[in-house]
Amino acid sequence: MALCLTAVLTFGLAACSTNTGSTLPSKSTTQTTQSTIQTSGAALSGKITMAGSTSMEKLSNALAEAFMEENRGVTVTAEFTGSSAGIESLLAGSVDIGNASRKLKNSEAGSGAVENIVAIDGIAVVVNPNNSVQDLTQEQLTSIYKGEITNWSELGGSDEPIVVVGREAGSGTRGAFEEILKIQDACKYALELDSTGTVVAKVASTAGAIGYVSLDMVDDTVTALKLDGVEAAAGQIKAGDYFLARPFVMATKGEISEQSELVQAIFEYIYSDAGTELIESIGLIAYEK
Amino acid sequence: MKNNPISIIGSRKTKQISETIAHKIFVICAFFAVLSVASITVYMIINGTPALTKVGILELLFGSDWSPTAANPGYGILYVILTSIIGTAFAILIGVPIGVLTAVFLSDVAPKKLAAIVKPAVELLAGIPSVIYGLLGIMILNPLMYRLELAIFKDSATHQFTGGSNLISAVLVLAVMILPTVINISEASLRAVPEHLKAASLAVGASKIQTIFKVQIPAAKSGIITAVVLGVGRAIGEAMAISLVAGSAVNFPLPFNSVRFLTTAIVSEMGYAADTHREVLFTIGLVLFAFIMIINIILTRILKKGNKNDD
């Protein structure tokens, strides 16, 4: 038994040592490559602070992580206090960037906040492919979700009850959807599903169902409705014709060019190819400046 | 000699060492389980109680307004608790008779060849991951329920159509899911009924069916009750399958309403919940934990009683 134990121990130790032996060199190589990047573009160090929209949590965190990965000396912190509170902190000078998941109000712009749209959050309204209704007005959509219209025949479709599918409380998509239509806390959901995938699956398998999902999650199993006659597509959203979309704004106090080197660098990163990829990877539409 | 450490001819010293080591390993293992239970209990209480005081026990447990992200948030989980209780109760009402009769069939009635098919099927049922039950529920049960719903509520102006995701679907899925537990434990307890009881009953002229219902099932009573309690535990703790079929909107548990159970309430909103909302989800966990604890206490009581009766 003792012999067994020593065997295991030595084996374990050997495994350990080979492990450290193999990881160490690879680590140092990544470090050297990074330092070469930094020397070519002057090593950055310092701290960037952001505060604002809870809907932008995913974007902010992904951005902070990616940017800190590229610039080891930089710390990016993000707080999620709500769009208005974020802009307030920006104007008070306590943060470098104020996040808002809406356009800036005139009062905010008047106080010196500059609206830098970094991405657009688009939501598609999906129905079963067999549904003959292809187009809804904003008013009709609102009435459906408030439970005032309950049958597709009222909208020119077949006599089929509407199954109102939504997301769970706390979901960013639900928050955006209700906020844009101004029906916060007024929705009458028949089903509250906890992921985009299940919403798509449910709508695809239920004749009278209607649901909302991030634009990039629409597939062939469901039909994305036109809203006010506008097709749900990235082009239309960028043009501002499709109403079920909202901008993600990273506001700065004064133009970007007036900001510190660090803040300029992070915006440069956002509008670079890597930044576009990052934004698209979390299901948003990148905004070309 | 060293190469053969478990030999009983080994020297006294090595023997003593291996004995102490083995003893310590046993203690550590036993302690690990106790530590887990204790830390889970402490963790649930620490995390589950703040919301109780913040929201108010009465408002939380007996409020029926669940709108955690509203401007004026409501954290009432009464409907969620009721759904779990009613859903589990009906799953038991459907699942237990089927399960117990299957157990009778397996232990007494079935020809050996047939039992050889049924028994593995039941065991396989126990091994199927719960998400599979959920998927089948979505694909088969929900469309059927929707057809039924369309027929029943054809002229109703107030009913909100759910596309078949409702309490009945969840109950049916749960009933199937508790079958293996109920069948296996009931069957074991039926087989443990002494042969002489059965023989005596048959000898005094009782028919086979009379013997089963008047002698064997009463004799196996404590085992069958254990099966029921474990079934309740399984049903109340199930999350994945019912989160797919129940619709997950917070409603009063009526048969054709989309409903949310205690488990699915936690699962569905944990991802994005913050602040008080998150704390309330932990409180829901605490309520669920309390239910499971109560079930376990009942179970140990039954088992103790059963043992006494056997003496």
**Are both B66 and B150 inside the same structural domain?**
yes
What pLDDT is stored for residue B263 in this prediction? Answer: 94
Does the residue B2 lie in any domain? no
- Collect all residues from A whose CB is shorter than 8 A from any CB in B: 1-4, 54, 147, 150, 161-165, 168-172, 175, 184-185, 188-194, 198, 201-202, 205-209
Confidence of residue A16 (pLDDT cuts 50, 70, 90): very low
Cβ(B279)–Cβ(B73) below 8 Å: no
What pLDDT is stored for residue B70 in this prediction? Answer: 82
Cross-chain residue pair A191–B14, CB shorter than 8 Å: no
**Are both B27 and B151 inside the same structural domain?**
no
CA B198 to chain centre: 32
Residue B273 DSSP symbol: -
Query: What is the C-alpha to C-alpha distance for residues A289 and B140, in angstroms, rounded to an integer?
Result: 49
Does the residue B220 lie in any domain? yes
**Are both B267 and B159 inside the same structural domain?**
yes
Query: What is the C-alpha to C-alpha distance for residues B40 and B289, in angstroms, rounded to an integer?
Result: 10
What pLDDT is stored for residue B38 in this prediction? Answer: 94
What pLDDT is stored for residue B5 in this prediction? Answer: 55
What pLDDT is stored for residue A58 in this prediction? Answer: 84
Does the residue B57 lie in any domain? yes
Tell me the shortest Cα–Cα distance from A148 to chain B, in angstroms. 11
Tell me the pLDDT tens digit for each residue of B185-242.
999 999 999 999 999 999 999 999 999 999 999 999 989 999 999 999 999 999 989 9
On the question of pLDDT at B311 being above 70, the answer is no
On the question of pLDDT at A18 being above 60, the answer is no
Confidence of residue A23 (pLDDT cuts 50, 70, 90): very low
**Are both B153 and B201 inside the same structural domain?**
yes
Q: Which residues of B touch A205 (CB under 8 A)?
A: 138-139, 142-143
- Collect all residues from B whose CB is shorter than 8 A from any CB in A: 2-3, 5-6, 14, 17-18, 21, 66-72, 138-139, 142-143, 146, 150, 153, 160-165, 243-244, 247-250, 258, 260, 267-269, 271-274, 277
Does the residue B188 lie in any domain? yes
Average pLDDT over residues A11-39: 40
- Sequence-ordered alpha helix ranges (H) in A182-218: 196-205
Beta bridge partners of A164: A210
On the question of pLDDT at A13 being above 50, the answer is no
On the question of pLDDT at B4 being above 90, the answer is no
**Are both B130 and B44 inside the same structural domain?**
no
Contacts of B167 (CB under 8 A, 6+ apart): B83, B86, B87, B90, B246, B253, B254, B255, B256, B257, B259
Least confident of A25-29, A102-106, B270-274: A25-29
CA A53 to chain centre: 11
What pLDDT is stored for residue B169 in this prediction? Answer: 94
Cβ(A159)–Cβ(A151) below 8 Å: yes
Cross-chain residue pair A185–B70, CB shorter than 8 Å: yes
What pLDDT is stored for residue A235 in this prediction? Answer: 83
**Are both B178 and B198 inside the same structural domain?**
yes
**Are both B143 and B242 inside the same structural domain?**
yes
**Are both B149 and B57 inside the same structural domain?**
yes
**Are both B73 and B40 inside the same structural domain?**
no
Rounded to two decimals, what is the model's pTM?
Answer: 0.76
Per the structure, the complete domain to which residue B115 belongs is given by 52-310
**Are both B38 and B86 inside the same structural domain?**
no
Domain count of the fold of chain B: 2
Cross-chain residue pair B163–A208, CB shorter than 8 Å: yes
User: In CATH, what number is assigned to the domain containing residue B208?
Assistant: 1.10.3720.10
Cα nearest neighbour of B243 on chain A: A193
Tell me the pLDDT tens digit for each residue of A176-191.
899 889 998 888 899 9
Average pLDDT over residues B92-102: 96
Does the residue B90 lie in any domain? yes
Does the residue B3 lie in any domain? no
On the question of pLDDT at B171 being above 90, the answer is yes
Average pLDDT over residues A4-12: 43
Tell me the shortest Cα–Cα distance from B168 to chain A, in angstroms. 15
Does the residue B115 lie in any domain? yes
Interface test with A, best of B17, B135, B272, B276 (most A CBs within 10 A): B272
Interface test with B, best of A6, A61, A168, A173 (most B CBs within 10 A): A168
Percent of chain A clearing pLDDT 70 (strictly above): 85
**Are both B161 and B43 inside the same structural domain?**
no
Tell me the pLDDT tens digit for each residue of B129-167.
998 998 899 889 999 999 999 999 888 878 888 888 999
Cα nearest neighbour of A197 on chain B: B244
A267: amino acid identity, one letter:
F
On the question of pLDDT at A253 being above 50, the answer is yes
Tell me the pLDDT tens digit for each residue of A31-79.
433 433 443 445 788 899 999 887 788 889 999 999 999 888 899 999 8
Query: What is the C-alpha to C-alpha distance for residues A178 and A142, in angstroms, rounded to an integer?
Result: 9
Contacts of A250 (CB under 8 A, 6+ apart): A50, A97, A98, A99, A116, A118, A267, A270
Average pLDDT, chain A: 82
**Are both B31 and B61 inside the same structural domain?**
no
